[in-house]
């Protein structure tokens, strides 16, 4: 079930709120001793997060299906996608936890038609005594304005709102779940990279965009958020998908008589273009009036998202 992004808290309805996590959404499926951890695009990640799979296997139930998010926590206890990426790509050992927030099946019974509160009640009971790597994500309050103020003060990403009494709607974005963000952050598709300059090796900046009516539109250049090891690893992956032509439908182009972000026809020939198959997470200050990212920072690759599904998030 997918949350709908809103620019402001709803004024009506009966909502409960939980923390929004900055990790990888996973469905855990336990069947006897076998456990699968399945990402949003169907990838099996049980081997990658073996400690989480072992904790799910140890739950006191023969079979269950749980919805949650795997996160890496920083020193302040906040979830960090950058840390999770470092855990996967560089072997850096940040604490990994599976925050669980919904129970879709238990002991052979389909629970998605039950009210939200009952599903969470059953899940909380199931998680009592679970290994430390499984944590129940419960309600944190009812006033979203107060919550958002506190969440922002703590440097966290935002909150998720869920309508009380709602059923679980797999793969739908019905509006019964909403997300309210304190930071500007979303997925983008990588379409190319610029040559390195100065002391930097491998590449200078990534060119990223999003889909609108099946056209890949350019959103900006992302040149920060990389260390040397990440530059090398990304460059190797990107080179494997190189192509001759630009995948962006709107490059090169002019606005106000100027080439967009300095990408001239000459520069187009210097850029290395790649097939639009890689999805990355980017944090940024804001969208400019001409629809480009201001102060973007690379956070990591998203192997759990399909490139064709990446659009510009709006708070409507």
**pLDDT of res. 224:** 94
DSSP 175: S
Whether residue 267 contacts residue 255, with contact meaning beta carbons closer than 8 Å, is answered with: no
Among residues 106, 141, 176, which one ends one of the domains? 141
CA dist 229 and 79 (Å) reads 22
Q: Is residue 310 pLDDT above 60, yes or no?
A: yes
- Judge whether 316 lies within some domain: no
Q: How many CB atoms lie within 10 A of CB 140?
A: 14
pLDDT digits (tens, 9 = 90+) for 247-278: 999 999 998 889 999 999 999 999 999 999 99
Whether residues 191 and 300 fall in one domain: yes
Active-site pick, 2, 20, 120, 242: 20
Supply the mean pLDDT for the chain. 92
Provide the residue range defining the domain that includes 134.
15-141
Whether residues 189 and 305 fall in one domain: yes
Q: Is residue 145 pLDDT above 80, yes or no?
A: yes
pTM flag (> 0.85): no
- Stated as kind and residue range, the H or E segment containing 42 is none
Residue 129 sits at the vertex; the CA angle it makes with 91 and 60, to the nearest 5 degrees, is 95
CA dist 140 and 48 (Å) reads 30
Overall number of domains in the chain? 2
Residues 53, 59, 63, 65, CA torsion sign: negative
Q: How many CB atoms lie within 10 A of CB 99?
A: 19
Q: Is 229 a catalytic residue?
A: no
Whether residues 190 and 133 fall in one domain: no
Q: How many CB atoms lie within 10 A of CB 309?
A: 12
pLDDT digits (tens, 9 = 90+) for 281-293: 999 989 988 899 9
Among residues 82, 108, 141, which one ends one of the domains? 141
- Judge whether 205 lies within some domain: yes
Structure tokens at 271: 């850029």
The CATH number that applies at residue 269 is 2.40.50.140
- Judge whether 305 lies within some domain: yes
């Amino acid at each position: 079930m997918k949350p709908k992004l809103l620019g402001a808290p709803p004024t009506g309805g009966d909502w409960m709120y939980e923390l929004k996590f900055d990790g990888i959404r996973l469905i855990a499926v336990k069947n006897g001793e076998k456990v699968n951890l399945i990402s949003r695009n169907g990838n099996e990640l049980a081997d990658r997060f073996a400690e989480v799979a072992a904790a799910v296997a140890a739950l006191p139930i023969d079979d269950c299906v749980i919805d949650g998010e795997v996160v890496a926590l920083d020193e302040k206890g906040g979830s960090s996608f950058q840390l999770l990426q470092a855990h996967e790509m560089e072997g850096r050992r940040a604490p990994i936890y599976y925050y669980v927030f919904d129970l879709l099946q238990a002991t052979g019974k389909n629970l998605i038609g039950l009210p939200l509160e009952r599903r969470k009640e059953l899940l909380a009971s199931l998680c009592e005594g679970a290994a430390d790597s499984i944590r129940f994500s419960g309600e944190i309050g009812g006033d979203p304005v107060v919550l958002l103020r506190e969440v922002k003060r703590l440097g966290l990403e935002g909150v998720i709102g869920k309508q009380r009494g709602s059923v679980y709607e797999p793969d739908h974005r019905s509006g019964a779940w909403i997300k309210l963000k304190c930071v500007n952050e979303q997925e983008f598709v990588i379409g190319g990279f610029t040559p390195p300059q100065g002391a930097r090796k491998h590449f200078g900046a990534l060119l990223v965009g999003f889909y609108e009516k099946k056209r890949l539109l350019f959103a900006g250049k992302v040149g920060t958020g990389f260390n040397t090891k990440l530059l090398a690893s990304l460059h190797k992956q990107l080179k494997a998908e190189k192509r001759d032509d630009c995948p962006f439908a709107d490059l090169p182009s002019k606005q106000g008589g100027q080439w967009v972000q300095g990408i001239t026809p000459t520069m187009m020939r210097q850029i290395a273009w790649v097939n639009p198959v890689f999805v990355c997470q980017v944090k940024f200050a804001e969208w400019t009036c001409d629809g480009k990212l201001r102060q973007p920072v690379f956070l990591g690759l998203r192997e759990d998202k399909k490139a064709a599904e990446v659009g510009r998030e709006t708070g409507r």
